[in-house]
Amino acid sequence: MSGAGFIPYGRQDISEEDIAAVVDVLRSDFLTQGPQVPAFEAAIAEATRAAHAVAVNSATSALHVACLALGLKPGGLVWTAPNTFVASANVARLCGAEVDFVDIRDSDYCMDPDALEAKLAQAERKPDILIPVHFAGQSADMKRIGAIAKAHDIRVIEDASHCIGGRYDGQPIGACPHSDICVFSFHPVKIITTAEGGLATTQDKPLADLMGLYRSHGVTRDPDLMARKHAEPWEYDQVALGLNYRMTEMQAALGVTQAARLDDFIAHRHKMARRYDAALADLPLILPWQNPDSHSALHLYPILIDTDKTNRTRREVFDHMRAANIGVNVHYQPVHTQPYYLSLGFRPGDFPVSEWVYARALSIPLYHGLTEAMQDRVIAALGDALR
């Protein structure tokens, strides 16, 4: 494939300003626990209209501290969607809790509120926490999911790993009108990056304080949170059992300069997605539906091979694209079909919509550095693959 460089399905976009910001930190007094983490938290809180933002070293860590802050205990129960990365379910297991799944809708590929209601009606035990996942950058139906959770006294964590910069029902994702906590990822394939990194937003100060404690050993010097009211000036209090999930100053500085470009990143993704919508409309594909309530962050452009209209298999299309040096990917192998979850008793067939989508799914390149010429190569290769 000489002359045709590799096009990944997603990648970071790093500017000279990003590099300078990280280098400045390396020359400064603080590599961790300095001013950059609070600055990044303030930037994301402002962008999402959340009262509080807690930055950590990954979205997995953010989901974990969110579960801990909501009081998830061994023997507790979390329900999430099968169409996600394994971390959405694993964090419950890390708290010693049980996991179950609610299948997705075939429109937005997110947790189905009807399936949620049906499962709750039959459940012997209600979950303590629901973790809906905003697949591909588009919010799940949070108005309904939030209302159902409220009626059943269930707490809600949004896994918005795909979604920084997205909007739902007129508000930024992260404003939490229908949830307790909302979690973002800053892995390099996501919308903005801190290399590794994650963040939890909430409107609830006690929850933010607890997540801050769990992020850093359960240790505090905040007089409001300390157990000893007359501590000596050198004393800190460990008031909970926590972890070290701190984000570094280099990561947070990168996050600040990346966050300044968030609107540009989202606008480019929308422009390129509209080009895909037009160019792929006549191929035997099911293109990603856009919910009119949502302005997706468009982390992914997930197409489904329409097996009613073509004899080409997803595997054939995948192989053709990879041979053309185009890094297509598949999101997601349903979590309940992973060997670890099979070992807990889940079975293929348990969540048929997620499995139906997975059998057809292919994520094609969408990222800030994707040019129209590169995208035309993807479109041409897909046309060849399906002809």
Residues that bind ligand PLP (CB under 6 A): 58-60, 84-85, 87-88, 133, 159, 161-162, 185, 187, 198
Tokens of 358: 């997975």
Our CB check for ligand PLP shows the closer of 163 and 256 to be: 163
User: Considering the complex, what minimum distance in angstroms separates the CB of residue 131 from ligand PLP?
Assistant: 9
Our CB check for ligand PLP shows the closer of 220 and 363 to be: 363
User: Considering the complex, what minimum distance in angstroms separates the CB of residue 187 from ligand PLP?
Assistant: 4
Our CB check for ligand PLP shows the closer of 60 and 139 to be: 60
Q: Is cis: bond before 358, omega within 30 of 0? A: no
User: Considering the complex, what minimum distance in angstroms separates the CB of residue 86 from ligand PLP?
Assistant: 8
Our CB check for ligand PLP shows the closer of 102 and 280 to be: 102
Which residues, 6 or more positions from 216, have their beta carbon under 8 angstroms from its beta carbon? 242, 243, 244, 245, 246
Our CB check for ligand PLP shows the closer of 361 and 381 to be: 361
Exposed/middle/buried for residue 224 (C-beta within 10 Å: 0-12, 13-18, 19+): exposed
User: Considering the complex, what minimum distance in angstroms separates the CB of residue 242 from ligand PLP?
Assistant: 18
Q: Could you tell me whether strands 155-159 and 181-185 are parallel, antiparallel, or unpaired per DSSP bridges?
A: parallel
Name the residue among 250, 249, 246, 184 with its Cα closest to residue 14: 250
User: Considering the complex, what minimum distance in angstroms separates the CB of residue 355 from ligand PLP?
Assistant: 18
Tokens of 182: 């909302």
User: Considering the complex, what minimum distance in angstroms separates the CB of residue 251 from ligand PLP?
Assistant: 11
Bridge partners for 162 per DSSP: none
Distance in Å from the first CA to the final CA of the chain: 20
Report in angstroms the alpha-carbon separations of 180 from 66, 157, 202, 211. Answer: 9, 6, 6, 12
Our CB check for ligand PLP shows the closer of 59 and 304 to be: 59
Query: What secondary structure letter does DSSP report for 201?
Result: E
Our CB check for ligand PLP shows the closer of 200 and 305 to be: 200
Give per-residue burial for 126-157: e unless 16+ CB within 10 Å, then b.
ebbbbbbbbbbbbbbbbebbbebbeeeebbbb
Our CB check for ligand PLP shows the closer of 199 and 381 to be: 199
Indicate the SS3 state at residue 253. Answer: helix
Name the residue among 229, 280, 298, 263 with its Cα closest to residue 382: 280
User: Considering the complex, what minimum distance in angstroms separates the CB of residue 157 from ligand PLP?
Assistant: 11
User: Considering the complex, what minimum distance in angstroms separates the CB of residue 387 from ligand PLP?
Assistant: 32
Determine contact, residues 74/96, Cβ cutoff 8 Å. yes
